[in-house]
C-alpha cells in the first residue's frame, strides 16, 4: 500500500519584481477580502517599495509596503491605501509563521490588516479602525427607507436648489479642487502622492473602473460637490469626495451621495465609504445607514534601544 503525504504550502516573501502579476490579481479578484488597494497596478504605482508574503501558488498573499531610512527597513503607511492585510484563507497553524515573517522582514512600521483579518489582528497588538459600507444589492426604495431623518431633511433642502447631477471625466480638475478645499489636512501627503494617484485613476479610467460624479449649481454652474470612485468586482470605493463652501450651504454632499446610491442601487456592488475616523465625517456617512466593517492597524516596533524610544 502506498501512502501519500500532503505537504503544507510554501510560505515565503517575494520582492514585488518577482511576483507574477496575473496570479496575484487572480487571487485578489476571487477572494472577498481582496480589495482594489491590493491589485498589482494599484500597489506598484502608489508604493515606493513593496514585497509580499505568498502562500503556495498564490493561494493567499499579504502585501508589505516598505521603505528604508538610515539603512533600517520599515513598513510604510501609503496615502490612498486604506487596508491590505492577508488576502485569501489560511489554516490557523500558519498564522505564527506569517507573523514571524512580518516581524523579521522589517524592524518597525505600520501595517493595516483588512476587515476579515480578525484572527491575525488578535495575534498582535492592534487597533480596530472605522470603516463603513453600504450594500447596494437592493433597490433604491429599500435603501432610502433606512436613511436618518436628518439626512432626509437635508435632501429636501438640497432639492429646493435643483442642483444638476453630472458625469465628469476630468481627473486632474477634480483632484485640484479636492486639494484646494482640503490642503491643510494633507501634511503627510505630498504632490508626488497626488501625481501617482492621478496616474492610478487614469489607468482605471481606461478600464472603465473610475467613476466621477459632480453636482453643479443650476444657475451659476458653480461646483457644489464632487466624488471620484473606483470600482472592482465587489465594491465602489469613495476615494475622493469634495464639497465647496457654497455646497455646504445647500446640503450638496448629502444630495450627491444619495444620487450615487440611487444610480448604483440594485447592483452587486457594496459602497465603501472609506472610513472615517474623523467624527464629523463618520456621522455624515452614518446618516445613510451603512454597517460598520472595521479593519486593523498593527504598529510594529522591534528597533533596538535608543532608536526604539524615538519611534514609539
Asked if 101 and 65 sit in the same domain, the reply is yes
End-to-end CA distance of the chain: 59
Q: How far is 206 from 171, CA to CA, in rounded Å?
A: 12
- The answer to the question of residue 74 being in a domain is yes
Calculate what percentage of the chain has a pLDDT beyond 90.
84
CATH number at residue 56: 3.40.630.30
Asked if 286 and 299 sit in the same domain, the reply is no
Asked if 56 and 176 sit in the same domain, the reply is no
Asked if 122 and 170 sit in the same domain, the reply is no
pLDDT for residue 188? 79
Query: For the segment 186-195, what is each residue's pLDDT rounded down to a tens digit?
Result: 777 888 999 9
Containing structural domain, residue 211: 132-292
Asked if 61 and 160 sit in the same domain, the reply is no
C-alpha grid cell for residue 81?
491605501
pLDDT for residue 4? 42
pLDDT for residue 222? 97
pLDDT at 38 over 60: yes
Average pLDDT over residues 71-89: 95
Predicted TM-score (pTM) of the model is 0.93
251 pLDDT tier (thresholds 50, 70, 90): very high
pLDDT for residue 310? 46
The secondary structure of 126-161 as a DSSP string is: EEEE--EEEE-SS-HHHHHTTS-HHHHHHHHHHHHT
pLDDT for residue 1? 46
Asked if 32 and 76 sit in the same domain, the reply is yes
- The answer to the question of residue 183 being in a domain is yes
pLDDT for residue 9? 78
pLDDT at 85 over 70: yes
- The answer to the question of residue 1 being in a domain is no
pLDDT for residue 306? 54
Query: For the segment 136-179, what is each residue's pLDDT rounded down to a tens digit?
Result: 999 999 999 999 999 999 999 999 999 999 999 999 999 999 99
- The answer to the question of residue 4 being in a domain is no
Asked if 137 and 286 sit in the same domain, the reply is yes
Asked if 117 and 201 sit in the same domain, the reply is no
pLDDT at 183 over 80: no
Asked if 17 and 41 sit in the same domain, the reply is yes
Asked if 165 and 273 sit in the same domain, the reply is yes
Average pLDDT over residues 273-302: 92
Query: For the segment 109-130, what is each residue's pLDDT rounded down to a tens digit?
Result: 999 999 999 999 999 999 999 9
Q: With beta carbons less than 8 A apart as the criterion, state whether 45 and 203 touch.
A: yes
Q: Are strands 235-243 and 270-272 parallel, antiparallel or unpaired?
A: parallel
Amino acid at each position: 500500500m502506498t501512502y501519500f503525504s500532503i505537504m503544507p504550502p510554501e510560505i515565503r516573501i517575494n520582492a514585488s519584481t518577482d511576483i507574477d502579476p496575473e496570479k496575484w490579481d487572480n487571487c485578489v479578484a476571487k477572494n472577498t477580502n481582496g480589495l482594489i488597494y491590493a491589485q498589482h497596478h494599484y500597489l506598484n504605482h502608489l508604493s515606493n517599495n513593496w514585497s509580499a508574503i505568498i502562500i503556495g501558488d498564490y493561494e493567499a498573499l499579504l502585501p508589505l509596503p516598505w521603505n528604508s531610512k538610515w539603512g533600517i527597513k520599515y513598513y510604510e503607511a501609503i496615502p490612498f491605501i486604506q487596508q491590505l492585510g492577508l488576502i485569501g484563507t489560511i489554516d490557523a497553524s500558519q498564522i505564527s509563521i506569517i507573523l514571524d515573517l512580518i516581524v523579521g522582514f522589517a524592524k518597525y512600521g505600520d501595517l493595516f490588516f483588512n476587515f476579515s483579518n480578525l484572527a491575525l489582528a488578535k495575534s498582535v497588538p492592534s487597533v480596530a479602525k472605522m470603516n463603513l459600507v453600504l450594500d447596494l444589492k437592493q433597490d433604491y426604495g429599500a435603501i432610502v427607507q433606512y436613511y436618518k431623518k436628518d439626512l432626509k431633511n437635508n435632501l429636501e433642502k438640497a432639492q429646493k436648489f435643483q442642483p444638476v447631477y453630472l458625469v465628469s471625466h476630468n481627473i486632474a480638475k477634480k483632484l485640484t479642487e479636492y486639494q484646494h478645499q482640503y490642503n491643510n489636512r494633507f501634511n503627510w501627503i505630498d504632490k508626488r502622492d497626488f501625481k501617482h494617484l492621478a496616474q492610478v485613476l487614469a489607468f482605471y479610467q481606461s478600464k472603465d473602473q473610475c467613476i466621477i460624479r459632480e453636482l453643479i449649481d443650476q444657475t451659476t454652474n458653480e461646483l457644489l460637490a464632487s466624488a471620484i470612485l473606483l470600482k472592482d468586482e465587489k465594491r465602489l470605493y469613495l476615494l475622493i469626495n469634495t464639497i465647496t463652501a457654497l455646497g455646504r450651504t445647500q446640503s450638496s454632499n448629502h444630495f450627491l451621495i444619495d444620487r450615487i446610491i440611487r444610480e448604483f442601487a440594485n447592483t452587486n456592488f457594496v459602497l465603501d465609504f472609506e472610513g472615517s475616523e474623523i467624527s464629523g465625517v463618520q456621522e455624515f456617512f452614518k446618516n445613510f445607514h451603512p454597517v460598520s466593517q472595521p479593519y486593523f492597524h498593527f504598529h510594529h516596533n522591534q528597533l533596538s534601544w535608543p532608536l526604539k524610544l524615538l519611534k514609539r
